[in-house]
């Protein structure tokens, strides 16, 4: 199953700050610091608003005129990286 087919939530220990279209995430418990470029920042904002991975793919395809398969693959890698750094977690995991 593609990782973006699963549901995730933002780890409660993560703080977010944006400056000039880019952003940083910080897990205050672990000290993990993660920089986001412009598109990753857009994804994070959608994620923060509760958009599902499917909704995020749809929004990015419309906004950036990219093939859905490309967006899906990139989103899978991005979500996997966020999860592996403890910035998001599976929604069914306490």
* Strand bridging mode 22-27 / 88-90: unpaired
User: What ranges do the domains of the chain cover?
Assistant: 3-86
Q: What is the pTM of this model?
A: 0.83
Q: Which two tokens stand for residue 23?
A: 């952003």
Fold of 3-86: Arc Repressor Mutant, subunit A (1.10.10)
Q: Of the candidates 92, 85, 19, 6, which has an alpha carbon nearest to the alpha carbon of residue 47?
A: 6
pLDDT at residue number 77: 93
Which pairs with CB-CB distance under 8 Å and at least 24 residues apart come from 81-84? Answer: 82/8, 82/25, 82/34, 83/3, 83/8
Give pLDDT tens digits for 16-52: 999 887 899 999 999 999 999 989 999 999 989 988 8
Check if the beta carbon of residue 5 is closer than 8 Å to that of residue 80: no
């Amino acid at each position: 199953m593609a990782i973006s087919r699963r549901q995730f939530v933002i780890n409660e220990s993560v703080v977010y700050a944006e400056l000039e279209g880019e952003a940083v995430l910080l897990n205050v418990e672990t000290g993990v610091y993660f920089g986001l470029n412009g598109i990753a920042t857009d994804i994070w904002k959608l994620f923060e608003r509760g958009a599902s991975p499917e909704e995020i793919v749809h929004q990015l395809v419309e906004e950036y005129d990219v093939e859905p398969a490309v967006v899906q693959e990139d989103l899978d890698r991005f979500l996997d990286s966020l999860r592996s750094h403890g910035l998001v977690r599976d929604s069914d995991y306490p």
